[in-house]
Amino acid sequence: MPQASPIRPLKRVDRSSSDFTALVAAIVASDLAEPLTRHIDAGSLPNRDAVIDLVKKLRELLFPGYFGKQNLTTQTLEYYVGELLGEIRGLLLEQILNVLRHQATRHGSPCQDVEATAESIVQTFLAAIPRLRATLATDVQAAFDGDPAAGDTDEVIFSYPGVFAITVHRIAHELHGLNVPLIPRIMSEYAHALTGVDIHPGATIGDYFFIDHGTGVVIGETTTIGQYVKIYQGVTLGALSTRGGQSLRGVKRHPTLKDRVTVYSGASILGGETVIGEEAIISSNVFVTQSVPPQTRVSVKNPELQYKDRKPQEFKQALPDDWMI
């Protein structure tokens, strides 16, 4: 059996060498030449790792006993919530202070009463926790009711990517509504990276919302979604065009879905003036750019499939207008 070659120790970098000095100087010069990709001589930024830790702690608070400390009892719940709430408050206040100071520095505006502003934001956000819990309970129920593969609501809370994505969105949307910069987007992109569900914090989503499977779902900033809405994987609720760039900021660019709408996989619904009426069904792979009346089914013409063996034959397959996996 051949012997493994011995591992050679890493060669120590000679910081005094001319090559190393020249490389450092070149990198520093590139830093100074590209202000958009550096953050120096400026105020504090929010810490991404701390924001993600905040999401995890808030998830513990929103679903006590499922994440973090388990085996809670009614006797220990109050102490547990108090301890966790104190940690969340301190962490959130620190990050909001950082981001408010950063925004003030970046935009050249004076940083007046930043501590009072941050305190007010944190207090308002924490006061919304009971309401957020009540809303998330409807989302969990919608996921269980809408998926015959779900064994129970515990399975939904623990493992459904759509429920995780909407949980993070509910948190991020609350902070977005309080005009907190950067932090809501860090939260939403964290959920996006884990689940493949991309929901902008600005999107307004009603109770009993369910994303089945989840991967590839995109929900734009100015989207409005009513209650009891269900969407499947690969759905895009987007803008018709973003060629206007920053000039479109604040303009309604994304669609509105009224109550009890169902959107099946691969469908795209685009445009700020597009309204999908109550109880409408949008079938798979359709492309919608105009409003749909209530209780309407939108579908593409059934596809025509061809099968060939030794003797060429043509088969037609009629698919239902709506289906699920």
* pLDDT (average), residues 293-305: 88
pLDDT given for residue 7 in this prediction: 67
- The amino acid sitting at 181 is P
| pLDDT for res 38 | 79
Note the pLDDT tens digit of each residue in 112-154: 788 999 999 999 999 999 999 999 999 999 999 999 999 999 9
Residue 307 has pLDDT above 80, yes or no: no
Query: pLDDT-based confidence at 325, cuts 50/70/90?
Result: very low
Reply yes or no on whether the pLDDT at 53 is more than 90: yes
Per-residue pLDDT reduced to its tens digit, 269-279: 999 999 999 99
- pLDDT 10s digits, 171-212: 999 999 999 999 999 999 999 999 999 999 999 999 999 999
Res 323 pLDDT > 60: no
> From start to end of the chain, where are the E strands?
198-199, 204-205, 210-211, 218-219, 224-225, 230-231, 236-238, 256-257, 262-263, 268-270, 275-276, 281-282, 287-288, 297-298
pLDDT tens track for 1-18 = 556 666 666 667 667 788
For residue 70, which phi and psi values (nearest 5 degrees)?
Answer: -110, -175
**Average pLDDT, integer, range 79-84:** 94
Q: What is the DSSP string of 254-294?
A: S-EE-TT-EE-TT-EEE-TT-EE-TT-EE-TT-EE-S-B-T
CA atoms of 214 and 232, how far apart (whole Å) = 6
| Average confidence (pLDDT) over 29-38 | 84
pLDDT at position 154: 96
What pLDDT is recorded for position 313? 54
284-262-205-130 Cα dihedral, nearest 10 degrees: -130
pTM for the full model?
0.85
pLDDT of residue 111: 65
Percent of the chain at pLDDT exceeding 70: 86
Query: What are the structure tokens assigned to 235, written together?
Result: 């759905």
Instruction: State the sign of the Cα–Cα–Cα–Cα dihedral 295, 298, 304, 307.
Output: negative
Integer angstrom CA distances of residue 277 from 35, 130, 238, 295: 47, 31, 17, 7
pLDDT on residue 242: 65
DSSP state of 204: E
Confidence of residue 324 (pLDDT cuts 50, 70, 90): very low
